A and B are shown apart, each in its own frame.
Chain A
Amino acid sequence: AQRVTQPEKLLSVFKGAPVELKCNYSYSGSPELFWYVQYSRQRLQLLLRHISRESIKGFTADLNKGETSFHLKKPFAQEEDSAMYYCALSRYNTDKLIFGTGTRLQVFP
């Protein structure tokens, strides 16, 4: 069965420190991977997806098929990055999203 694992419930860093939010998945095919973010009192929104290969708000994520990982990274965290981050997987075009349990990122001043 498809599964997304985010091992950290909470990640706390100071402003300017590097950040890595871990995501591992299990799926035998070629999935599409996403990172969604939910800022305080806002709705869930797409941050980035692996096929886009773009950097959003300084965040990047590389799909590593060998390690079945899609970790989210940012070299210098900002206070406004504090939010809940969810990694998600889909198997094909209109497929449902399979979410991890989420990691809360706290960036202290």
Chain B
Amino acid sequence: NAGVMQNPRHLVRRRGQEARLRCSPMKGHSHVYWYRQLPEEGLKFMVYLQKENIIDESGMPKERFSAEFPKEGPSILRIQQVVRGDSAAYFCASSPPTSGKGQETQYFGPGTRLLVL
């Protein structure tokens, strides 16, 4: 099992462009979480998805940000019209279906570092 994969690892965009970040969960995992880490801060939750459903998007900015986890393929975090403040590390985590025995462990990807010029 290759672990959670994220690509690209580094992404440079100019203000106003779009950024697409991809996350492939571990095999057998049906839950995907996206977190953002601004410089000198901890990871902050953005959105939680299951296949074809957004379960919790309470951490997503209301504008320009969207996420999906289609039936086939990776989860995508999309940022439209990027601004300098979007520069951050974006981490994806996945977890298996709930076993009913407490929180399933979230396994993290290596992150995508977005730099907006």
- Residues of A bordering B, CB below 8 Å: 4, 6, 32, 34, 36, 43-46, 49, 51, 86, 90, 92-102
Residues of chain B within 8 A (CB-CB) of A32 are: 102-103
Of all chain B residues, the one with the shortest Cβ separation from A31 is: B103
**Chain B positions 30 through 74: 1 when the CB is less than 8 Å from some CB of chain A, otherwise 0:** 010101000011111100100000011001000000000000000
Contacts known (A46-B105, A51-B102); A100 close to B42, Cβ less than 8 A: yes
Report the separation of the CA atoms of residues A92 and B48 in the bound assembly, to the nearest whole angstrom. Answer: 14
Residues of chain A within 8 A (CB-CB) of B4 are: 43
Q: From residue A43, how far is it (CB to closest CB) to chain B in Å? A: 5
- Interface of chain A: mostly helix, strand, loop or mixed: loop
Q: Please count how many residues in chain B sit with their CB below 8 Å of the partner chain's CB atoms.
A: 30
Whether B44 contacts A99 by the Cβ 8 Å rule is yes
Contact of B103 among A93, A100, A101 (CB under 8 A): A93
Report the separation of the CA atoms of residues A70 and B108 in the bound assembly, to the nearest whole angstrom. Answer: 22
Residues of chain B within 8 A (CB-CB) of A96 are: 33, 45, 48, 56, 59
Q: 14 other contacts beyond A93-B102, A93-B103, with CB at 8 A cut-off?
A: A36-B108, A43-B4, A43-B108, A43-B111, A44-B43, A46-B105, A94-B55, A95-B103, A96-B33, A96-B59, A97-B45, A97-B93, A99-B43, A101-B40
Q: From residue A48, how far is it (CB to closest CB) to chain B in Å? A: 11
Of all chain A residues, the one with the shortest Cβ separation from B59 is: A96
Whether B55 contacts A45 by the Cβ 8 Å rule is no
Report the separation of the CA atoms of residues A76 and B80 in the bound assembly, to the nearest whole angstrom. Answer: 49
Q: From residue B49, how far is it (CB to closest CB) to chain A in Å? A: 11
Determine if B104 is an interface residue (Cβ-Cβ < 8 Å).
yes
Determine if B25 is an interface residue (Cβ-Cβ < 8 Å).
no
